Amino acid sequence: MNDDTFKKVIELARNKYNTIELEDAKSLMEKEEIFLIDVRPSDIYSQAHLPNSINIPLSKLENSKDLPKNMDTQILTICNRGNSSLAGLVILKALGYNRVKSMNGGTLEWINRGYKIEQS
């Protein structure tokens, strides 16, 4: 996918039904079981990621064996800022997952707010 197409996909996917603000995502994670997927490359993920997240890079998402079997699992996609996670959301919805949201602000905003991160 070329850059212009990618930008258009992101623009079309960014809406209140597909995204969740960082504070709302944090509150949701504290109350409910959420399957957190960080779609960044593994080397970036290992430097800093949200607790309880798993790393499935965007390029491997479609064929990953680590995805939940239940298509109604509540999934939150995460990246650095909230753009690649939208692409992950689109892929997961295309695969048939029904409850997927992308976190606005991403890991960088999570860190800026002083929330707990992990390294691996």
pLDDT digits (tens, 9 = 90+) for 22-71: 999 999 999 999 999 999 999 999 999 999 999 999 999 999 999 999 99
Spatial distance between the Cα atoms of 89 and 21, rounded to a whole number of angstroms: 15
Q: What 3-state DSSP class applies to 7?
A: helix
Q: How many CB atoms lie within 10 A of CB 12?
A: 11
- Domains identified in the chain and CATH numbers: 3-112 (3.40.250.10)
What CA dihedral angle connects 41, 87, 14 and 106, to 10 degrees? Answer: -10
Q: How many CB atoms lie within 10 A of CB 74?
A: 17
What pLDDT, on the 0 to 100 scale, is given for residue 113?
Answer: 96
Local confidence band at 77 (pLDDT 50, 70, 90 cut-offs): very high
Question: What pTM value is reported for the model?
Answer: 0.89
**99 bridge partner residues:** 74
